[in-house]
Amino acid sequence: MKSRGNNFRLVVLLGALLGVALAPGWWAARAQQPSTTQAQANAPGKTTSPGQTTSQDQGSQSSPLYRVTVVARTTKAINYSHAKGSTPIDFKGTVLMPFAKGEAKVEGKKGVTSVSAKFDKLSPASQYGPQFLTYVLWAVTPEGRASNLGELELEGAKAKVDGAAAFQAFAMIVTAEPYFAVTQPSDVVVMENSVRPDTEGSVEEVDAKFDLLQRGDYSTITTGNEPTRMDPRIPLSLYEARNAVQIAQAAGSDKYAAASFQKAQQLLQQAEDSQKHKSPRKSVDMTAREAVQTAQDARSITIKRLDEERQEAERKAAEAREALAKQQAADAEKAKLEAQLEQAKAARDKAEAEAARAAALAQQQEAEKAAALAAQQKGEAEATAAQAAQQAAQAQQMAAQQKAAAEADAERARQAAAQAESEKAELRKQLLQQLSSILQTRDSVRGLIVNMSDVLFDTGSYTLKPGAREKLAKISGILLAYPALKVQVEGHTDSVGGDDFNQRLSEQRAESVREYLVDQMVPANAVTAFGFGKTKPVATNDTPEGRQQNRRVELVVNGDAIGDSVDAPGGAAQTQ
């Protein structure tokens, strides 16, 4: 095996207790015990040790958490850019599943690295807790970026996955998850890659720290008092859809991503009804998987908006601190001026008292000394007056300087704000010109809207034509130059055909465009896709020309960098 000799360390945080994984029955018993954290939440003011249990007579409760020792593991990342053709690599089980094994073929292709993996001696994911239903294969870069390569669908104790990574150097791990569409791995790592003697590529051990979701993030999934038992007549995807909707609701998606969350609930209910009426298993599975993905999208939107709220609160707090500091500085300056005025008054009072006392003494002295004493008193009074006038002039000069400085600061702030707005406008104009050179683009209050007519798709299909891929590749290159921008892909159809067909076709076309952009390295969390069917026409559907205009996919490009905030999907349709 070829090796570049660069040794990196890939540190993977695992949830594991040595020996616990060797006794699967312990998990079933442990499934009846709530964690210390949950026990404290159920009984405020009462401390429950990790070994104690609490009982509830109600029909359902939050599924228990598991207190697990976190240990560090070392695994090897492979740089496959030097491999010629496909190269094999093995998988070995961790202490959570020591007898599991697997192998994969990794092959570098244009722009991606494909992975075809097979696994054996696997046991159900529910042994690690009722919230875990499936396994997911991940690719992890040396920098800690994790990419979901696909779900391990068990067939007995075996499973296989075909996926692709958008990078060349990575390690691979397998984790237990509540559903297949998760975007961040849990800490229940059951397998990791193992280098074979005939593995081609550079072995790189990387000090990479990447975030793993702890089990507590899934603790809000409701289950009965008994451990989850899987009914073989019910597709696994339906169980996963139930988990995904509960997790999204616990994250607050019903408030922050109501439209997506409601759609996920509707899809889940549709799958439940199909299962209840004994519809074909494939139909139930497709609807349930769509519910999972929609719930994950709603959860991702929620997490993003919660972060935006936190940032806004921090900004307001900083403004309040700044205003308080300015007020305190003004109060201090005012107190200083008042102290100076009091000091001047005290000096005048003292001088007057001394003059009066000197006058009284002068009356008792000889007449010869009276004139001299009077002259002396006059000189002292003039000196005091001159000193007071000088202090007043200094105070007035200081106040004028402070006022000028404040006005200068305000002017600089105004100029900086104007320059920032000018730069956003110039960037928006430049981006509009770049996008317009590829596809028809217009400026709107929602952002820059790039229009893809349906001639870029096969008729009645969501398959992108080569010309469309070429244009999208150019647009991807532009978007990569502006990482702060967000893209909303919106699919539309004309009124020909049924509502369900048009809605599904618009969603599929929008998702095809989104997936192509993501394949072109546009960040996945910067691109969303929505389908609106025939509900948002831009022209009449009574003429062929109007219907052709309505059959379109629009890319809504926005972001603070060009003076827009991220808009909700859709927006009012504009009539041409």
pLDDT in tens, the chain (576 residues): 444 333 333 333 333 333 333 333 333 333 333 333 333 333 333 333 333 333 333 334 433 333 333 344 566 788 887 667 788 999 999 999 999 999 999 988 878 899 999 999 999 998 888 889 999 999 988 888 889 999 998 999 999 999 999 888 889 999 999 988 898 888 899 999 988 888 776 666 554 445 556 555 565 555 544 446 778 888 888 888 888 898 988 889 888 888 888 888 998 998 889 888 888 988 888 988 888 889 889 888 998 889 898 999 999 999 999 999 999 999 999 999 999 999 999 999 999 999 988 888 888 888 788 778 878 888 888 898 899 888 988 888 888 888 888 888 888 888 877 777 888 888 888 889 888 888 899 999 889 999 987 767 877 788 888 988 898 999 999 888 888 899 999 999 998 889 999 999 999 999 999 999 999 999 999 999 999 999 999 999 999 899 888 889 999 999 888 877 555 566 544 433
Instruction: Answer whether residue 259 is part of any domain.
Output: no
377 lies in a domain?
A: no
Contact 106, 97 (CB under 8 A): no
Residue 145 near residue 210, CB atoms below 8 Å = yes
Asked if the structure places residue 318 within a domain, the reply is no
Distance CA 195, CA 83 (A): 14
Q: What CATH code is carried by the domain that includes residue 458?
A: 3.30.1330.60
Q: Give the CA angle between residues 112, 118, 119 to the nearest 5°.
A: 130
The three-state DSSP-derived secondary structure of 411-453 is: HHHHHHHHHHHHHHHHHHHHHHHHHHCCCCEEEECCEEEEEEE
Is 248 among the domain residues?
A: no
First and final CA of the chain: distance in angstroms? 63
Q: Which of 217, 234, 259 is the last residue before a domain boundary?
A: 217
**514 domain residue, yes or no:** yes
Single residue among 217, 236, 265 that ends a domain in this structure: 217
182 burial type by CB count under 10 A (0-12 exposed, 13-18 middle, 19+ buried): buried
How far apart are alpha carbons 256 and 263 in whole angstroms? 14
Whether residue 179 is contained in a domain is answered as yes
The tokens for 530 are: 């929505």
Per the structure, how many domains does the chain have? 2
SS3 of 316, please? helix
Which domain-ending residue is among 187, 217, 247? Answer: 217
Say how far apart CA 543 and CA 99 lie, in whole Å.
Answer: 66
* 413 inside domain: no
Residues spanned by the domain of 468: 432-562
In a domain, 136, yes or no: yes
